Amino acid sequence: MELRIRTYILYGIGIASCIAGVVYLTAEYVNYLSEPGKLGCLALAVGIFAFLGRYFEEIGW
Amino acid sequence: MALKRRYRFLYLAIACIAGLAAIFVVDGYLGIYDTVYITTGEYEQKIEAYEWLREENFWSTSARWDEKVSFRYEIENHQFSTYSTRIEASVWKENERVIDLFAEDKSIEPFDKVTVEWTLSSEELESAGFGIDEYADYTIKINYGDVERKVIVNFYSPEEGSYPKPLPPRER
> What's the ipTM?
0.70
Q: Which domains does chain B have, with CATH numbers?
A: 31-161 (2.60.40.10)
Task: Give the full edge-to-edge strand order of the sheet including B69-78.
Answer: B43-47, B31-40, B69-78, B112-120
Query: A51, B17: Cβ pair inside 8 Å?
Result: no
| pLDDT, tens digit (0-9, with 9 covering 90-100), for B31-72 | 899 999 999 988 899 999 888 877 677 899 999 888 899 999
Tell me: the pLDDT tens digits for B82-99?
999 999 999 999 889 999
Task: Indicate whether B9 pLDDT > 80.
Answer: yes
Confidence of residue A59 (pLDDT cuts 50, 70, 90): confident
At B112-146, the pLDDT tens digits run 999 999 999 988 888 888 877 767 889 999 999 99
**What is the per-residue pLDDT for B170?**
66
Q: How far apart are CA A4 and CA A7, in angstroms?
A: 5
Any chain B CB within 8 A of the CB of A40?
yes
Task: Please report, rounded to a whole number, the percentage of residues in chain B having pLDDT higher than 90.
Answer: 55
Give the nearest partner residue to B9 out of A41, A44, A54, using CB atoms: A54
Reduce the DSSP state of residue B19 to 3 states and report it.
helix
Q: Name the region of B13 (left: φ>0; alpha: ψ -120 to 50; beta: rest).
A: alpha
Residue among B9, B24, B28 minimizing CB distance to A51:
B9
Q: What is the per-residue pLDDT for B52?
A: 83
Q: Provide mean pLDDT across the span A14-43.
A: 89
Q: Is the pLDDT of residue B1 over 70?
A: no
- Closest-CA residue to B159 (of B128, B135, B137): B135
State how far residue A57 is from chain B, nearest Cα, in angstroms.
10
The pLDDT value given to residue B131? 78
Q: Work out the end-to-end distance of chain B between its first and last CA atoms, rounded to an integer number of angstroms.
A: 104
- Among B6, B7, B14, B16, pick the best mutation site for testing chain A contact (most A Cβ within 10 A): B16
Chain A contact set for B10 (CB, 8 A) = 51-52, 55
Q: How far apart are CA B41 and CA B67, in angstroms?
A: 7
